[in-house]
Amino acid sequence: MRGSILSICALVSATYASHVLLPRTPSTPLYGNASATNLFSCAAASWPQSDVGVPLTPQPVDSELAGLLSEIDPARIEAYIAKLVSFGTRHTLSAQNSTTRGIGAARDWIAQEMRSFAATSEGRMTVSVPGYIQGLEARVPFPVLISNVVARIEGSTDPSRVYVISGHYDSRASDPNDYTSDAPGANDDASGVAVVLEIARILATRQPKATILLGAVAGEEQGLYGSNFWAQTLRNASVNVEGVLNNDIVGSSTGDRGQRDPYTIRVFAQGLPPTESAARRAQRLTIGGENDSPARQLARFSVEVAANNATGMNIAIIYRLDRYLRGGDHRSFLEAGYSAVRYTEPNEDYAHQHQDVRVENGTQYGDLIEFVDFEYVARVAKVNLATLWSIANAPGQVRNATVNATLLSNDSQFSWLRSNDTDIEGYEVVWRPTAAPLWTHVVDVGLVSTVTLPLSKDNVIFGIRSRGRNGYRSPAVLPFPG
C-alpha cells in the first residue's frame, strides 16, 4: 500500500496535533487538525515516502480496559489527598510517633489503605513497608528512618517481569530542612500518591500478566532517598523491571499566568541512558539512536495506548530528564539501569510548590488542596492505568534485537531472539522518518526471528515489538548492529 504524500502527511500532522504541546483551549478537539502549521511540521517529518508497512494507528482501548478506566473516581482521589494533607506536614524528618501528624502517620495510613485493597485481591496483592536508616547528608541533619509503602500485584503468567508506578508522600515547606511547619503537599505530591492508591484499588481485583509494584516513597525532597533505596534493592536482586511510571505534581491544570490546559499531561523522558556502557553509547550515537532510549520508547508507548478518548488526555512528550532546577524519583530508577519516565502537569505555579503557607503581598502561597483539580488528577490516573495495564498485559519487550550492518545494503535486515512466551501472536517492525517523534508505520512480520525489509536503514528509525494474542503490543526496542 503506497500512501500518497497527502495521506502520510495527514497522518503525521494528526499525530503532531494530538500529541505535541500546542497552544490550545480546553475545547480544542483531542484529535488532529491538519492546519498549515501542522503541515509545515509534516513537510519536515514525512520523508521518505515508502510502501513498506501500513500507517500505524493508535492502539484500540478494549472493553476490559475501558471498564477499568471508568472505575477511576475523582471523589476518592479528593479524599486521599485531603487525608494526606490532614497530617499537617509529611516532611521526611517529621515525627514518626504520632497517629495524627507527621510522616509516620502518613506512612501508616497509606499502608492501611493498601492493605484494605489487598484484602479484596484473593492473595494476589501483598503490601510491605521496606525502610532503612539514612545517615547524615546536606538535607538529613540527623539519622532518619526512610520507609516506602509498596503494594505488589503478582503477575498471572509472567510474574518475574515487573512494572513500577510511584509517587512520593513526603512534603516540604520553604526551607528544605524545616520539618515542623505545615507542609500540605497537596499537589507535590499527594496528587501522585492519590494516582497510585486509586490504581492499586482498581487493580487489586484484576490479574495482569506481569507483576506490578505500586509504591509511595519518602525522602524525595531530601534527595530522592526512598526511590533510590527501592531502585537499588530491585537492581541488587536482578529484578527485571521493564518500565517505571513516576507521578510527581500531577494535580493542577492551571499555570502561574492563569493559563489552563486540563487535557494535557507532560511525560519527561531522558535521551541517553545514564548507565549505558561507553561502547554501547558510542554505537548508539553512530547509528542515530539517541532519541530511542528505553525511556523514550516508554513515553511513545504511553502516547500510543493512553492519549485517546478513553482517558480524555493528550500526552506531551518532553525530551529531557526533568524540568530545570528540579528532580524526581524516576531518576533513581534510570540510574539503576531501568527505563523510567515522569508525568507532571503542563503548567506549574511556583507559588504553590515548596512554599510556606502564607499570604504575602496579597498572594496566597503554599501547596494547598484548594489549588488541586480532582477531575484532572483522575484523567492523569487514567493515563497511568491505560499505560500500566497495556504494558503489563503485552508480551515482554523483544530481546537482542539486531540490525545487520556487515555489508553496504539498501535493504534492512533484523534479527531478534524468539521468545518462548506462547501468548505471542507475532512480531512487528515499526518505523518512522528520523525527524518524526512517534512511530508512523508498522509491518506485521509474523512469528519469525529475522526479516529483511526493502527500506534503507539509513533513512528511517526502526523498532521491533511483539504482539500478544490479546492484541496488546510491547514497547518497541531499537535494534543495534549485531
All cell numbers assigned to 353: 510548590
Residue 307: which residues within 8 A CB-CB, separation 6 or more?
18, 19, 30, 58, 313, 314, 315, 383
- Residue 248 CA: distances (Å) to CA of 159, 255, 262, 404, 439: 27, 16, 16, 41, 27
Q: At 8, is the secondary structure helix, strand, or coil?
A: helix
Contacting range for ligand NAG; rule: CB under 6 A; set: 114-122, 334-342, 385-393, 400-408: 400-408
Should residue 373 be labelled a site residue for Zn ion when binding is judged by CB under 5 A? no
CB of 185 to Zn ion, least distance (A): 8
Question: Other CB atoms closer than 10 Å to residue 340's CB: what's the count?
Answer: 30
- Whole-angstrom distance, CA of residue 479 vs CA of residue 405: 11
Should residue 367 be labelled a site residue for Zn ion when binding is judged by CB under 5 A? no
Should residue 97 be labelled a site residue for ligand NAG when binding is judged by CB under 6 A? yes
CB of 121 to ligand NAG, least distance (A): 25
Should residue 361 be labelled a site residue for ligand NAG when binding is judged by CB under 6 A? yes
Q: Which of 158, 182, 188, 198 binds Zn ion (CB under 5 A)?
A: 188
Q: Which of 51, 309, 319, 444 binds ligand NAG (CB under 6 A)?
A: 309
- Of ligand NAG, Zn ion, none, which one does residue 229 interact with (CB within 5 to 8 Å by kind)? ligand NAG
The answer to whether the CB of 284 falls within 8 A of the CB of 290 is: yes
- Whole-angstrom distance, CA of residue 291 vs CA of residue 433: 12
- Residue 328 CA: distances (Å) to CA of 112, 218, 325: 25, 12, 11
| Residue placing its CB nearer to ligand NAG in the complex, 87 or 229 | 229
Q: Which of 46, 413, 440, 474 binds ligand NAG (CB under 6 A)?
A: 413
Contacting range for ligand NAG; rule: CB under 6 A; set: 111-119, 189-197, 202-210, 410-418: 410-418
The 3-state secondary structure of 238-270 reads CCEEEEEEEECCCCCCECCCCCECCCEEEEECC
| Residue placing its CB nearer to ligand NAG in the complex, 158 or 198 | 158
| Residue placing its CB nearer to Zn ion in the complex, 185 or 289 | 185
CB of 35 to ligand NAG, least distance (A): 4
Region class of 249: left (phi > 0), else alpha (psi between -120 and 50), else beta: left
Q: For cell 518497541, what's the residue? A: 476
Cα 342 to the chain's mean position, in Å? 5
| Residue placing its CB nearer to ligand NAG in the complex, 35 or 116 | 35
Contacting range for ligand NAG; rule: CB under 6 A; set: 111-119, 192-200, 225-233, 327-335: 225-233
CB of 205 to ligand NAG, least distance (A): 27
Question: Other CB atoms closer than 10 Å to residue 240's CB: what's the count?
Answer: 14
Judged by CB under 6 A, the number of residues near ligand NAG is 27
- Please list every residue from 235 through 254 that binds Zn ion, using CB under 5 A: 248
- Of Zn ion, ligand NAG, none, which one does residue 122 interact with (CB within 5 to 8 Å by kind)? none
Should residue 277 be labelled a site residue for ligand NAG when binding is judged by CB under 6 A? no
- Of ligand NAG, Zn ion, none, which one does residue 189 interact with (CB within 5 to 8 Å by kind)? Zn ion
- Please list every residue from 17 through 46 that binds ligand NAG, using CB under 6 A: 28-31, 33, 35, 37
Should residue 189 be labelled a site residue for Zn ion when binding is judged by CB under 5 A? yes
Bridge partners of residue 429, in order along the sequence: 443, 464
Contacting range for ligand NAG; rule: CB under 6 A; set: 219-227, 269-277, 376-384, 402-410: 402-410
- Whole-angstrom distance, CA of residue 46 vs CA of residue 8: 7
What single letter denotes the amino acid at residue 390?
S
The answer to whether the CB of 439 falls within 8 A of the CB of 432 is: yes
Q: Which of 70, 409, 446, 470 binds ligand NAG (CB under 6 A)?
A: 409
The answer to whether the CB of 135 falls within 8 A of the CB of 184 is: no
Q: Using CB under 6 A, list all residues that contact ligand NAG.
A: 28-31, 33, 35, 37, 95, 97, 229, 232-233, 236, 309, 360-361, 399-400, 404, 406-410, 413, 417, 420
Q: Using CB under 5 A, list all residues that contact Zn ion.
A: 188-189, 248
